[in-house]
Amino acid sequence: MAAKKRLDGSQLDATTLRRYFFGADGRHKLTYAEFSAFVGDLQREALKAEFLEYSRGLQRISQSDFAAMMLRYTDLDEAEQRVYFERLEAKLSLDEDVAFEDVELFLRLLNNLDDFSYAFRLIEPPATRKDFARAAKVSLRGAELSPRVIDVVFAMFDAAGDDRISYDEFFVVVRNRLHRQVRRSLAKRSGLEAFKQCVRDDLKRKS
């Protein structure tokens, strides 16, 4: 009997990807909905891992930890970040909890930042909490941000102290976070390798 050929790492990865997306016989047609769901799960797993760094295994984090997550991947140095934390401490008397689902929804908003930016620009500046919440709701197709999340955003980005925020300061910081997070992820591991690992992990959970 002929010996089975041993697959090297690259062959094994390719086989795993093909099976996952196209079935064992390679005939399954991958739909947009299936691929979109996979990417959504991928993003959720990455966010969950980041969230757990702050929550220490719990399902909630403090508002100050949520603020730290927002600033984590920015180019702001320690002194610049301290300005935002000082605003937060001065304006929020209680450091209340924020649930994972609330953080996830906010990050979903940032992942659709162009839509949110457009909706936000329709508001006469500077924006009130009601304006901000309404623009977010439009961008999130009816989903509403948690009041505690909005409290953190306004505490951090209301530089004038008038309970309003400007377009420039908020969007400069969050765009910087998104762009730098992508750069750090690519520097850490190629996108293809990360993608392969996520597929392998998902297959293990389903086996």
Mean pLDDT, each 10-residue run in order, the chain (207 residues): 46 64 82 84 86 91 94 90 94 89 93 89 88 94 95 93 87 79 42 56 56
Q: Which residues pair with 60 in a beta bridge?
A: 99
The predicted structure's pLDDT at residue 207:
54
Helices 167-188, 113-121: inter-axial angle, 10-degree rounding: 170
Dihedral pair phi/psi, residue 143, rounded to 5°: -75, 145
The predicted structure's pLDDT at residue 186:
37
Name the pTM for this structure: 0.72
The predicted structure's pLDDT at residue 155:
94
